Structure 1
Amino acid sequence: MPVYRKHGKPEYTYDFKLRGHRFFGPTGTSNKRQAERILEKKRQETLSNLKKAASFTAEGPMTLEIAASRYWLEIGQHLANADDCYRAIGWLLSHFGKHVTLDRISDSMIAAMVARRRTDGVSNATVNRTSTVPLRGIMIRAKKTWKVPAFDVEWRRHLLKEPRERVREASQDEEKRLLDAMRDDYAPAVRFALLTGCRRMEIVDLKWSRVDFSGRTITIRGKGDKVRILPMTEVVRELLWTLKGGHPTAVFTYVARRTRTHLKLVRGTRYPITMEGFKTAWRRYRDKSGVENFRFHDTRHTAATRTLRTGNMKIVQRMLGHEDIATTAKYAHAMIEDMRLAMEAANHTGSHTGAEDGDAMALKNRKKSA
């Protein structure tokens, strides 16, 4: 279907294929006829860009428009966050203009771009991920892969400093308050997150075909379509077993509270939870619980920290799906108290270094009184 509505969203999304590539994005309108006109305009623009890219040779400078189109075709559309990449490219073209060439995008221009993006009141991380990092990807690929002229940018000077990711663990009381406040149909998804450390997208995407009760495993499809297998603990098995029969394909579902004809929702019927619906429910009922300074990603921190106390770093790395164990190392704080207790136990086993005998104690007392 060339234009369609995503679940829970009033505006249409366009979606089409051209020369073996898929193109999609928001139309910005809830009117179907307008959406179809926007679709046709996008199709013509894309066709024009493809023709320009196909006719390009490495003998001269490349415009940002052509470079962005090639980057989208080769890299952007295949990313897990393709929608974000598409929006970032659109912002870059709007800021610099379509016809600026890569050899003219200098350090000075990039510094001005960063300053402009910061005026939007977003965080340093957002500035990096929505402007500097996408532009860096385009320009480096143009220079190293396509062998076209591009300014020699010192990217480290333009990346803003980001705070180190915190590790926030829910206490037992906070966990109870969160689950008690959560809507009954969304509570199982939140509990699953606390038990497994799965990301929100991984929970929304979980299908019954990837749940193996007999083998007691769950196949998770994570970032970049990377697959990992989690063992099914008894508690997780009981949780998932109660959800069987709710929906033929989706594990986690919600109950429609009212009929919405335009969204094809019928009151009392279960539907797969969506990212936007899950985000809304989380914010609303998290605030209702009274638990402060706790984000959904902190459920992942909670699961990892608790597992690390009884396991080891390698186990947590595999559970979370981290490629580099250095990423998992931020949870090492959970082992500090266990290390202290172990060292205390070792120092009180009767060794001369751990416990002073009577003669040593007497000597120390004499030195104090001298």
Structure 2
Amino acid sequence: MPVYIRKDNKDGTYSYEFRLQGRRFSGNTGKKSEREARQVERAKRKEAEKLLEEEKQFGADDLTFEIAASKYWHEIGQHQKDRENLLWSLDWLQTAIGRSTRLSKINDNLVAGLVAKRRNDLIPNRKPEQKISPATVNRTMTQRLRSILIRAAKIWKVRTGEVIWSAHLLRESGERIREASRMEEAKIMSQLDRGYDTAVQFAFLSGCRRMEILGLEWSRVDFFGRAFSVIGKGGKTRIIPMSQAIFDLLWQERGHHEVKVFTYEAKRTLKNRGLCRGLRYPLTEAGLKTAMRRAVADAGVENFRFHDTRHTAATRILRASNLRVAQKLLGHEDIATTTKYAHALVDDVRNAMDAMNTARDPAPLNQIKTASE
């Protein structure tokens, strides 16, 4: 289909996608009418044909950004787990930079303007309106563009402009460590529907990331060996032992679905989504995000996100063991990454010192002097 409405598109406009000479061309038409969108798609196809012809004339050593984005998607992007987010970034960059802009023309001045433009973007569906964070600017724009230009220069051997990337990466605030109290955890759990409550409870117990939880399948659950394996960042697999609480939780989920561990029961039949009331279906990322956000708000818990369940689990396991154990649980390759949870140990030492000093009332100063005399 040459034009379509993307699932993550909230404004109802059509996107286009086509291939020419093995290259992928895509973008948003800005049109809500399919007829008008098709007209835009035909115009974009003609532009692409012209660009490919120009590439032959100018040589392949000075690509347009549209050609470079297409090559990057074909070689790298389509194989990544976050390909939907990457696709969004590529579309944004092509519009902001200009599809016909040559890579050799992308310089510090242009990149600085792109950073300024992206910093003014607002977080979708956030009320009151709030601009995106410096970290989001870095992840969705600057680092994406840098990856494309570095690959163009080193792998494709084409001309690129000179860019001092360190000058454009925004300073990010240090990652906060938000630990839920037992009372906060109980309040959040009380607001979750069946299925979602199990997934969130598993997050508190295991410290697994959201996508690790959603991707957990029965083939990677070993009740006999009391362990399960998850696929984490970079496609890396790690094995996590089952505590008794995790064992009991997973045992109760048997038989709900042949493949996926975490599921929910459809409350009503929705033919357009292929749902039948009473049947169980795997949890989705959007569904789990929404359920958690609503539960936190309804519970009256402030400043708590799904990823904070991981922080909570890490801090609790560190209080009961040591940094090496926490590193193993979280799957950190470098223990330096785990040391951000060391505040838990500092708190324990402080509490122990306070307990030591208040275990008994000190003798009055005059008694001490009398005893010494």
- The reply to whether TM is greater than 0.5 is yes
Mapping 1:146-185, distance limit 5 Å:
146-185=156-195
The corresponding residue for 1:242 is 252
The corresponding residue for 1:333 is 343
What are the Cα deviations for residues 281-307 of structure 1, in whole angstroms up to 9, with x where unaligned? 111122111111111100000000001
The corresponding residue for 1:354 is none
Give the drift of 1:122.
1.7
| One-letter amino acid of the structure 1 residue matched with residue 178 of structure 2 | R
Mapping 1:170-319, distance limit 5 Å:
170-319=180-329
Pair 1:128-2:138 in alignment: yes
8 Å Cα contact 1:228/1:321 also seen in 2? yes
Mapping 1:112-127, distance limit 5 Å:
112-120=113-121, 121-127=131-137
What are the Cα deviations for residues 200-221 of structure 1, in whole angstroms up to 9, with x where unaligned? 1111111111111111111101
Give the drift of 1:146.
2.3
State the secondary structure of the residue aligned to 1:249: coil
Pair 1:104-2:114 in alignment: no
| One-letter amino acid of the structure 1 residue matched with residue 105 of structure 2 | R
| One-letter amino acid of the structure 1 residue matched with residue 67 of structure 2 | I
8 Å Cα contact 1:132/1:158 also seen in 2? yes
**What is the Cα-based RMSD across aligned positions, in Å?**
4.1
Distance 2:43 2:209 in 1: 33
Aligned identity (percent) is 49
Pair 1:89-2:90 in alignment: yes
Distance 1:322 1:53 in 2: 47
State the secondary structure of the residue aligned to 1:292: coil
Specify which of 328, 332, 338 is matched with residue 322 of structure 1.
Answer: 332
- The verdict on how the C-alpha distance between 1:60 and 1:22 changes in structure 2, with shifts beyond 3 A counting, is closer
Give the drift of 1:149.
1.8
Aligned length: 351
Give the drift of 1:26.
9.4
More displaced 10-residue stretch of structure 1: 66-75 or 252-261: 66-75
- The verdict on how the C-alpha distance between 1:62 and 1:263 changes in structure 2, with shifts beyond 3 A counting, is same
Distance 2:54 2:309 in 1: 45
Distance 1:292 1:94 in 2: 37
State the secondary structure of the residue aligned to 1:284: helix
| One-letter amino acid of the structure 2 residue matched with residue 65 of structure 1 | E
- The verdict on how the C-alpha distance between 1:266 and 1:198 changes in structure 2, with shifts beyond 3 A counting, is same
Give the drift of 1:223.
1.9
| One-letter amino acid of the structure 1 residue matched with residue 216 of structure 2 | L
The corresponding residue for 1:62 is 63
Distance 2:234 2:318 in 1: 25
What are the Cα deviations for residues 40-62 of structure 1, in whole angstroms up to 9, with x where unaligned? 97997999699779969976422
Give the drift of 1:323.
2.2
Distance 2:326 2:319 in 1: 10
- The verdict on how the C-alpha distance between 1:5 and 1:164 changes in structure 2, with shifts beyond 3 A counting, is closer
